[in-house]
Amino acid sequence: MILYDPPSAAQSIPVVDLEGSFTHAQARSRVADAIHHACRETGFFYVTGHGVPEALVEAQLDWTRRFFDQDRTRKLALSIDRSPCRRGYEGYGSQVLDEGSAADFKESFMIACELAPDHPWVVAGLPMQGPNQWPDALPGFREQMSAWQDEMVRLGRHLMGCLAQSVDLPFDWFADGLGEPQCGVRLLRYPPQPADVEGNLLGAGAHSDWGSITILLQDDLGGLEVRNADGDWIPATPLGGSFVINIGQMMERFTAGIYRANLHRVRNNHAQRARHSVASFFELEPDYRMARAPTCIGDTRDDVPPPTVGEHIEDMARASYGA
């Protein structure tokens, strides 16, 4: 168990401006260099200039609040327990991200790419592939989630190219895994929590993410904290017009540990307001094997076949949910 203590504000998370990098090679090189430094130091960075319309961002937070404001019975009707691919609603205490700590003090709703029963990945039994669950009482919700997911796929594709370029590989290095990329979108609500609550009760316990890239939209309340290279906890203070980006364990594997899938946690210290955020988990195709980058030298064993993206995330989900 990693006991809670207040974060240090002595250092900050870098900001990477993506402006121009979608169309100009020189701007992409600048972005790749900035991402390289951020991933070696904290594994976290803000992005601005991403091109996601402000109206869509505001609507996403609004629909997130509206979903959680529903009656509990309506939310439980979409329980993740009813889904063969772990999609739907999770109530408080469903997940333990920091082993030994109390269960996470949050509720969430998860969707991913909608796949028909005859899709080859579903037929082949690849883990966590299939249909979403949708609320009947929120007309317009599904359309908003789909529009958001489309934007996250667009941004995720670009960031994967920049990450490849950041370790001196071609921008299109991951093309073989980007035909049908995965994009899980998780709506999150962290209820009000006094700062002096007893025990190591956190909205989300200290953990590193499992996959490749997480794209986080957070409201103005704050609460996300990141452990830097010195072992200090620093706040990821909300920055208007930005997303918080962090890399996960698959990207750390890809760079042979040169980049850090860093520990982070969430604690809503506000006693009157709930915190809302939207985490979009961008992944390569589930059968893509994330081998070590040829430009990265580390202790990764090249004689052992790397796991597929789907296998790794399934293993981590089983550990996190105790199943």
How would residue 44 be classed by pLDDT, with cut points 50, 70 and 90?
very high
SS (H, E, C) the chain: CCCCCCCCCCCCCCEEECCCCCCCHHHHHHHHHHHHHHHHHCCEEEEECCCCCHHHHHHHHHHHHHHHCCCHHHHHCCEHHHCCCCCEEECCCCCCCCCCCCCCCCEEEEECCCCCCCCHHHHCCCCCCCCCCCCCCCCCHHHHHHHHHHHHHHHHHHHHHHHHHHCCCCCCCCHHHCCCCEEEEEEEEECCCCCCCCCCCCCEEEECCCCCEEEEEECCCCCEEEECCCCCEEECCCCCCCEEEEECHHHHHHCCCCCCCCCEEECCCCCCCCEEEEEEEEECCCCCECCCCCCCCCCCCCCCCCCEHHHHHHHHHHHHHCC
Summarize pLDDT for 120-154 with one digit per residue, the tens.
888 888 778 889 999 999 999 999 999 999 999 99
Summarize pLDDT for 282-309 with one digit per residue, the tens.
999 988 888 899 999 865 555 567 788 8
- Could you tell me which residues come within 8 angstroms of residue 46 by beta carbon, excluding any fewer than 6 positions away? 13, 14, 15, 16, 236, 239, 242, 243, 244, 245
Residue with the bigger pLDDT between 3 and 196: it is 196
pLDDT of residue 268: 82
Q: Quote the Cα angle for 12-247-115, to 5°.
A: 140
pLDDT of residue 9: 38
pLDDT of residue 199: 65
Ranges of each domain in the chain: 15-321
Q: Determine the topology of domain 15-321 in CATH.
A: Jelly Rolls (2.60.120)
94, pLDDT greater than 70: no
High-pLDDT (> 90) share of the chain, %: 60
CB count in 10 Å sphere of residue 275: 24
Distance between first and last Cα of the chain = 20
The rounded distance, in Å, linking the Cα atoms of 249 and 319 is: 15
Residue with the bigger pLDDT between 271 and 95: it is 271
